Structure 1
Amino acid sequence: MSNSSEKFQLTRKGAAALAVGALALVGAAVGATVLVEHRLHGHGHGAGHDHGHDAHEHGEEGHEHGRHEGHGHGEDHGHDHGGPAGHPGGAHEDEHAGGKLRLSPAMIENAGIELLTAGPGKVAVTLRLPGEIALNAEGVAHVTPRVPGAAREVKKQLGDAVKKGDVLAVLDSRELAELQRELLAARERLTLAEASFARQEALWKEQISAEKEYLAARQAVAEARIEHRSAAQKLGAAAGAGGGKGGGYALIAPIDGTIIEKHIAVGEVLKEDTQVFVIADLSTVWVNVTVYAKDLRRVHVGQAAWVTAEGTPAPARGAVTYLGHVLDEGNRSASARVELREPDRAFRPGLFATVDVSVEEVDAPVVVSDEAIQRVDGKDVVFVQEGDAFEARPVKLGRRGAADPAGQGARVVEIAEGVTAGERYVGKNSFVLKAELGKPEAGHGHAH
């Protein structure tokens, strides 16, 4: 019996212990639940604005606890990371707020930033076409020997600038020497014929000789003169202005220009069809332009045009001087020509070019320099001055072109929206402000 009592007592004690253990486990679970809920509402959503929805899922007590605890902690977190006072880059956010920049006068001067005033102006709307720079075919001269000969002396070299009449080279020619001999012989025969005619004329006047002899002498003089004139013309045609003595003659520059080809060396034997020198007048060049069928109605002779090519310092202004009437069968385009006068040496024949032809002139209420337009966050912007700051102002662009077809051709853009007449904006070197705006501290999304 006593053993049974002891077993019963032990069993009751074990049950009590088990119950206490179970209660402890339940308490721990509840405590953990509260702790997890607290962390979910207090730490999981630092801003403290999304905890209320989760609290309803855990009961009213959990909601109250999450609301008070999480909200208080969220305010501290937001203050440390979101507010200007707690942000270490707050000064930069003030300077770049709303896309605005503040630059010191020294920075503006050092960067070469140009301030202009927006206002009404003319826009010469342009049509962009492909082209190629070429020699002015009317200003090219090919120098060839008129008779075969051997080069005695070469006076000019490739790239030399020459004037009309300059001696380029001196040649020796047997053919020329023969023509010179014929001329001398014709001159001697003419001299003798003239002397004989003078004697016969005097005798005839004194009635010493017969009229027949006088007439024969006069006929001989006329023939000698014709022969002499023919020999002189042959020699002149062979040697030109460079004819000399002893079979030598000079190759003369027929125009002012630059030697762009040379095919002669001392001692070289040259035929009469050898192209010895090519001289080009580079004071004008042609730009051969391709005008597609869809654009033909917009292009006319006399229109102003601006030409750019790789390596050229600035657009060169010219005019359309020719427009073809027949289309190319391959690409259905017509050829046009733009002539450039006194172009920069960088406009070298053979370069591919871009040609902007002025096809329309309009009056726009607001225009800005083409250099002022920058691309920021996928939008066209103009940096407009507002007090001591510059605002990256989004704009809607209109027509593009030149400021004045009769002037220097500064590129301008019509502003349909975003900038009003009278506002000051950044023209030249506006990319400096774009770069400044794009620095990491200038944005609002950098790490806290």
Structure 2
Amino acid sequence: MNPFEHVTGIQCRLWRAWLLPAMMAATLIPFVSATAQSTVAESVVILPKDQWQASGIHIEPVQRNAFTKTLHLTGKISLNQDRVAHIYSMVDGIVDDVSVSLGQTVKMDDLLAVIHSREVGAAKLELYQARLQLELAETQNELQTAIAKNTNELLVALRSNMPIAEIEKKFRDRPMGDYRERALISYAAFLKSAADVSRLEGVSQSGAVSGKTLLAATSGRNADQATFQSRIEQIQYELQTSTLKTSQAVKEAEAKVLVAVTGLRILNVDAKELNEIDPAKQGEALSHYAIRAPFDGTVLTKDVVLREQVRPDVMLLSIADLSTVWVTANVYEEHLPLLNSFKDQTITLRNDALPDRKFTAKVFYTGDIMDEATRTISLRAIADNANHDLKPGMFVNIELPTAQPAESIVIPNSAVQQHEGKSFVFVLKGDDQFLRRNITVGPTSDKTIVVRSGLREGESIVTGGGFILKSQLLAELLGDE
């Protein structure tokens, strides 16, 4: 085998001019082995130190380092699916106004379209009536509460035997309904009966009034007192019942208002519109149903025109927030061991149409299902796109940094030689002896390679000029054969 068989013309003559002296100065020392292959695997090449510089020999110690590699993928820009809105009308109706055009940039809550909806109009009228009923119920409850408070104070005064004249003065202008009359009539009857008994008791001892007459007066007083007490208890019960009814009426009216408001809020009617419902002022505009932008974005599709009949199952517009975009890429099966390390990594994006621009994105999803046809897993990243330079549908070149989970033996690619499918390096032994050492290699990057076996940390290896040692090794071997 000629070591120069792949070199022709001027290159061969130039190489021989500076390689052959170095090769002639180098000596091959084979170890005793059973076959030629083992002889090559265990051979030592001697090259004096004064020839190292001319031969380009460079020596470096073997070290453990973190192995990093940039994985190159092709990706595609797509919409951020978390920031895309397909706009539908939630009610049937006729389009009364369209406020946006295709490609227009809108802000959150901007008006997009107005639908004339009988359903919305009826719901707003129902809310208006419910609010009127609530207002009436609250007024009645306030009045009943005041009546109950005044009447209870009157009953306390009657129990304390306050004079009628004083009672009339204290409670003259305070509303009590018919409770005042009912309480005072029974109270006045009791006071009269009590006065009669007191008068008869004063003259009964002189014999001017019979005992029978006094007894009858006493019985009448007791009956009037019982009637008075019964009337007070009846009034207190009626006050409690009436107050409870008016309070319950307020709660029922509040519930009707709440149901009506909730129904409209479910239809996404703005709260400001609900507070401004007035059939007298708004007229038929009461049936207007406004469709607003859910967030800042750009109108991507527009399928709505004036006076068109719309239904809840027909999409009117679509809006996308293009300030961020997704980057999708397919990760091949061979890279599955690195998949977990991709999460939260920052990747670099480039596009041929923008050669001077570089973009970054952060990986947020590394996929859970492999595509059976392509044998790939979908990776997704999110990129800032404030200037809208990244267009959905655009293809990009992705640079994704990868790293081994732990530090490994990492050497320069230039140190590794190949022969008959075997990878090997030259290990420095002594001052001028180079031992060929077969190695098992792992992942490779543009500049470095991981060595899985065959080398130990601290050994010195040839990282430059190894081709000269390999050529001498093969030349001596062929000469021996």
Normalization by structure 2: what TM-score? 0.47
Query: Which of 105, 108, 118 is the aligned partner of 1:164?
Result: 108
The CA distance in 2 between the partners of 1:312 and 1:344, in whole Å, is 14
1:150-189 equivalences in 2 (<5 Å): 150-189=94-133
- 1:364-412, CA deviations, whole angstroms, 9 ceiling, x for partnerless residues? 999xxxxxxxxxxxxxxxxxxxxxxxxxxxxxxx8179xxxxxxxxxxx
Higher relative contact order (CA 8 A, sep 6+): 2
- Which protein has the bigger helix share? 2
Query: Are 1:265 and 2:312 matched, yes or no?
Result: no
The CA distance in 2 between the partners of 1:237 and 1:243, in whole Å, is 14
| 1:311 aligned partner, one-letter code | A
SS of the residue aligned with 1:399? Answer: coil
Query: Are 1:217 and 2:243 matched, yes or no?
Result: no
| 1:349 aligned partner, one-letter code | P
The CA distance in 1 between the partners of 2:106 and 2:313, in whole Å, is 22
Query: Are 1:399 and 2:454 matched, yes or no?
Result: no
- 1:172-191, CA deviations, whole angstroms, 9 ceiling, x for partnerless residues? 11100000110011011111
Query: Are 1:289 and 2:318 matched, yes or no?
Result: no
Deviation at 1:309, TM superposition (A): 4.2
Contact 2:323-2:388 at 8 Å conserved across structures: no
Q: Note closer, same or farther for the CA distance 1:303–1:236 as it changes in structure 2 (3 Å cut).
A: closer
Query: Which of 238, 242, 264 is the aligned partner of 2:267?
Result: 238
Deviation at 1:284, TM superposition (A): 1.1
SS of the residue aligned with 1:206? Answer: helix
Structure 2 counterpart of 1:29: none
Query: Are 1:322 and 2:365 matched, yes or no?
Result: yes
Deviation at 1:221, TM superposition (A): 1.2
Q: Note closer, same or farther for the CA distance 1:151–1:288 as it changes in structure 2 (3 Å cut).
A: same
Structure 2 counterpart of 1:227: 256
The CA distance in 2 between the partners of 1:142 and 1:127, in whole Å, is 36
Contact 1:306-1:356 at 8 Å conserved across structures: yes
The CA distance in 2 between the partners of 1:256 and 1:400, in whole Å, is 46
Query: Are 1:251 and 2:291 matched, yes or no?
Result: yes
Contact 2:412-2:447 at 8 Å conserved across structures: no
Structure 1 counterpart of 2:384: 341
Structure 1 counterpart of 2:84: 140
Contact 1:311-1:346 at 8 Å conserved across structures: no
Moved more, 356-365 or 309-318: 356-365
Moved more, 198-207 or 250-259: 198-207
Q: Note closer, same or farther for the CA distance 1:302–1:220 as it changes in structure 2 (3 Å cut).
A: closer
The CA distance in 1 between the partners of 2:364 and 2:141, in whole Å, is 62
Moved more, 328-337 or 297-306: 297-306
Contact 2:137-2:249 at 8 Å conserved across structures: yes
The CA distance in 2 between the partners of 1:220 and 1:343, in whole Å, is 56
Deviation at 1:285, TM superposition (A): 0.9
Query: Which of 302, 306, 310 is the aligned partner of 2:344?
Result: 302
Contact 1:167-1:250 at 8 Å conserved across structures: yes
Deviation at 1:344, TM superposition (A): 5.8
Query: Are 1:278 and 2:318 matched, yes or no?
Result: yes
Deviation at 1:214, TM superposition (A): 2.3
Contact 1:150-1:269 at 8 Å conserved across structures: yes
- 1:107-130, CA deviations, whole angstroms, 9 ceiling, x for partnerless residues? xxxxxxxxxxxxxxx997421223
SS of the residue aligned with 1:272? Answer: coil
The CA distance in 2 between the partners of 1:170 and 1:148, in whole Å, is 12
Q: Note closer, same or farther for the CA distance 1:217–1:254 as it changes in structure 2 (3 Å cut).
A: same
RMSD in angstroms over aligned alpha carbons? 3.2
Q: Note closer, same or farther for the CA distance 1:206–1:345 as it changes in structure 2 (3 Å cut).
A: closer
Query: Are 1:202 and 2:245 matched, yes or no?
Result: no
1:349-364 equivalences in 2 (<5 Å): 349-360=392-403
| 1:203 aligned partner, one-letter code | I
Deviation at 1:310, TM superposition (A): 5.5
| 2:292 aligned partner, one-letter code | I
The CA distance in 2 between the partners of 1:142 and 1:338, in whole Å, is 23
Contact 2:361-2:383 at 8 Å conserved across structures: yes
- 1:228-281, CA deviations, whole angstroms, 9 ceiling, x for partnerless residues? 111112122224227475111321111111111112111112112332221111
List runs of 5+ in structure 1 lacking aligned partners: 1-121, 367-397, 402-415, 419-448
Deviation at 1:201, TM superposition (A): 2.2
Q: Note closer, same or farther for the CA distance 1:360–1:198 as it changes in structure 2 (3 Å cut).
A: closer
Structure 1 counterpart of 2:207: none
Contact 1:172-1:249 at 8 Å conserved across structures: yes
SS of the residue aligned with 1:225? Answer: helix
The CA distance in 2 between the partners of 1:400 and 1:174, in whole Å, is 72
Contact 1:124-1:400 at 8 Å conserved across structures: no
Deviation at 1:199, TM superposition (A): 2.4
Structure 1 counterpart of 2:374: 331
| 2:120 aligned partner, one-letter code | L
